[in-house]
Structure 1
Amino acid sequence: MAAPNRRPARGAAQSTIPQLSWREPQPAPIVLVSGPEEVCAERAIAGVRAYLRAEDAALEVSDLRADDYVEGTLFAVTSPSLFGEPRMVRVQSVERCSDPFLSEALAYLESPQAGATVVLRHTGATVRGKKLLDAIRSGIGGGVEIPCAAVKRDADRVDFAIGEFRTAGKRIDPGAVRALVSAFADDLAELAAACQQLIADVPADITEQVVERYYGGRVETSAFTVADTAIAGRYGDALIALRHALDSGADPVPLVAAVALKLRTMARVAGTRESSRELAARLGMKDWQVDRARRDLSGWNEKTLAMAIQATARADIEVKGASRDPVFALERMVTVIATRAPYGA
């Protein structure tokens, strides 16, 4: 049941046990699911269960909490049953584990039960249970680790979405990935659900038009529509898009944030001569994001870009309470960006 050796994941260099991708989990006597990203952790644990269930449909699954632990429970649920069915024990809240659990888990590592898979979930929110984690990572118990690092950067969310479709064997256009990630920029669980919905509902390739049809009402999608049209210099279209977004209930704050994100990307790319691949690697972006930013820079120069960034910074302050009229603040920002001239000029 032991998993094959893999190269240690980033941030786990001191671990001597195999490091597995959460997309390709495998069982072992001890499976440590570490890190803060719950979406990935849930997938990993579900994957281990599916793997074991495929091997034997009679799998017994038990759930424990390490912070509300009754002494003796771990040994009881991992002990062989009368008919010898395989057992899987899912243990939550190891980062808040009680002393009795810690003591019994350390003892269990010394002699894991045959036919049992114990999955330990530790978010890394505290150092509680470090002694247990160190023991597992040293190889005691014959375990594997599935790191679930936080998905924070836009590039990480893009990788996540692409991975969802690649795993399902479906193609998605780069523009569709961008639109999808923009629509669910603040919630990885919703992004994951949206990807799965498109995978289930759409038999053909996923295009930007498909994403717009499904999720065009999302505030963030409307925000990037405003940003795209303003940066392209389409003044009238930008004002119409802004009004539509506001009428649809969009919050001014994420609207400004979407514009600021695009302008910052343009500023980072402006004036560089590296290839898209080299620049993307250095900036932590995707090749197509660099290409898009370079296209957006058409017609812009250092002076107009600086003016647009200043106008956006002013709007950001005003929509967060410094102005009594956030709509006017948005309209002035869009005007400066779309006309590439000072307001009222």
Structure 2
Amino acid sequence: MAQSSVFGSTLLVQGAEPLLAERAVAARVAQARREHPDAELTEVNAAELADGRFADLIGGSLFASWVIVVVNDLASLPEQALPLVRQSALEPYPELCLVLVHGGGLKGKALIDALKKAKVTRIAADPVKAWELPKFVAAEAKSLRMGMDVQAAQDLIDAVGTDLRSLAGALRQLASDYQGEQLSATMVRRYFDGRAEVTSFAVADDALAGRPGPALEKLRWALSTGVAPVLVTSALAGSLRGLGKYLELRSARMPDNDLARQVGVPPWKLKDLSRLSRDWSSQAVSIAIRAVARADEQVKGAAADPGFALEQLLRTVDQARQAGRAR
């Protein structure tokens, strides 16, 4: 078997970002298919590998000698299946292409450590940090044969949100009209203006900036187009946490890049936080975060009308902002 073959090998995909994990798995499966188009492919959740099922999967069948096995959610692997999975991962037989997917966390750490010690090939699928998102968007655009500057990438993030799958989908929409072109911020804003992709992040931006009317309008539009209420509370919580960290750290003498990293935002976002800080105090942020926590419980089942709970939340957030401004 040639060293470049993916058969007779194991790939560990580790990290909590599903889109990146799926792409890593798809790339390995595609490579295996190119080598042996007739290979038998099986995807299975690790929790289902009890009672010897894993042995059946890697053993192939009467109709296929080459086998591709993808085991998802490795952290849920039953204890009784661990020895065979570990042995197969460390010493895969020549006809087996094994892919193990672990979503991160401490569960299943012993197996992960054993794989790392054995230098099993690993691909990280870690969540993309907030300040890295424009770079991800620009790279994704390039892969679709489009150019995109930093401001255009950020405008897309503001329109669609931080979910990688949503961003990738939005870029595919843009590519259908602008493939081969250089995308400007104006083009991105024009393309998404008034569309259903008004997101929870746009609601959060207006709420924190003291624009309760537009925030309420965007909230109602977002909910009417299928945005889950919990995404709104999540966006508000994230924005408030970032603002709170900025208020705590802004007096520290550190470079913008270091400050941005501590706060958890891209460096250019510091200007927005600086502007918001004029109307917010740490106490006001704390009040707003507690209100978001209550609303989060309500939209997850404690309230009969999640939409009304979110409208009340926007009013409370604006009241907290006004109190912070009057300090």
- The match for 1:332 among 312, 319, 323 is 319
**Structure 2 counterparts to residues 192-271 of structure 1, below 5 A:** 192-203=168-179, 204=181, 205=183, 207=185, 208-209=188-189, 210-214=191-195, 216-228=197-209, 230=210, 238-248=211-221, 253=233, 257=237, 260=240, 263-264=243-244, 267=247, 270-271=250-251
Distance 1:123 1:277, change over 3 A: closer
1:78 CA displacement: 8.5
Q: Which amino acid aligns with 2:82?
A: L
**Match runs of 1:36-115 below 5 Å:** 36-69=16-49, 70=53, 72-77=55-60, 81=64, 86-99=66-79, 101-109=81-89, 111-115=91-95
Deviation string 1:69-111 (CA, Å, 9 cap, x unpaired) is 3263144228994xx6x54221234323245533333443565
> Cα 1:206–1:216, aligned 2, differ >3 Å: closer, same or farther?
farther
Residues 274 and 64 from structure 1, CA distance in 2 versus in 1: closer, same or farther, beyond 3 angstroms?
Answer: closer
Count of equivalent residues = 297
Counterparts of 2:132 and 2:266, CA distance in 1: 10
Q: Please report the RMSD computed on the Cα atoms of aligned residues, expressed in angstroms.
A: 4.3
Show the counterpart of 1:136: 115
- Higher Cα radius of gyration: 1
* TM-score with structure 1 setting the length: 0.65
Query: 2:201·2:235 contact (CA, 8 Å) conserved in 1?
Result: yes
Amino acid at match of 1:61: L
Distance in 2 between residues matched to 1:269 and 1:211, nearest whole Å: 35
* Superposed counterparts of 1:108-187, under 5 Å: 108-109=88-89, 111-125=91-105, 127-128=107-108, 130-131=110-111, 133-139=112-118, 143-151=120-128, 153-155=129-131, 157-182=133-158, 185=161, 187=163
Match of 2:14 in 1: 34
What percentage of aligned pairs have identical amino acids? 19
1:170 to 1:248, Cα distance in 2 relative to 1, 3 A: same
Provide Cα deviations, 1:12-59, integer angstroms capped at 9, x if missing partner.
Answer: xxxxxxxxxxxxxx8871111223332221111011122333445444
Unaligned runs of 5+ in 2: 224-228, 299-308
Q: Give the aligned partner of residue 314 of structure 1.
A: 287
Match of 2:270 in 1: 290
Q: Shift of the alpha carbon at 1:220? A: 2.1
Q: Give, in whole Å, the separation in 1 of the partners of 2:148 and 2:132.
A: 16
Q: Structure 2 length as normaliser, TM-score?
A: 0.68
For residues 254 and 65 of structure 1, the distance between their equivalents in structure 2, rounded to whole angstroms, comes to 28
What letter corresponds to residue 314 of structure 1 in structure 2?
A: I
Contact 2:203 2:219 in 1 (8 A): no
Distance change (3 Å), C-alpha of 1:168 and 1:42? same
**Higher helix fraction (1 or 2):** 2
Compared with structure 1, are the counterparts of its residues 59 and 315 closer, same or farther at alpha carbon in structure 2 (3 Å cutoff)?
Answer: same
Alignment of 1:190 onto 2:147: no
Letter of the structure 2 residue corresponding to residue 143 of structure 1: V
Distance 1:77 1:66, change over 3 A: farther
Deviates more, 1:319-328 or 1:69-78: 319-328
Query: CA, structure 1 residues 271+278, in 2 after alignment: closer, same or farther (shift >3 Å)?
Result: same
In the alignment, structure 1 segments of 5+ residues that lack a partner are 4-25, 231-237
Q: 1:28–1:186: structure 2 CA closer, same or farther, 3 Å change rule?
A: farther
Instruction: Quickly say closer, same or farther: Cα 1:171–1:147, change in 2 above 3 A.
Output: same
Shift of 1:61: 2.0
Deviations along 1:141-193, whole A, 9 cap, x unmatched?
x7311222345x53355554444334434333434433444455574443443
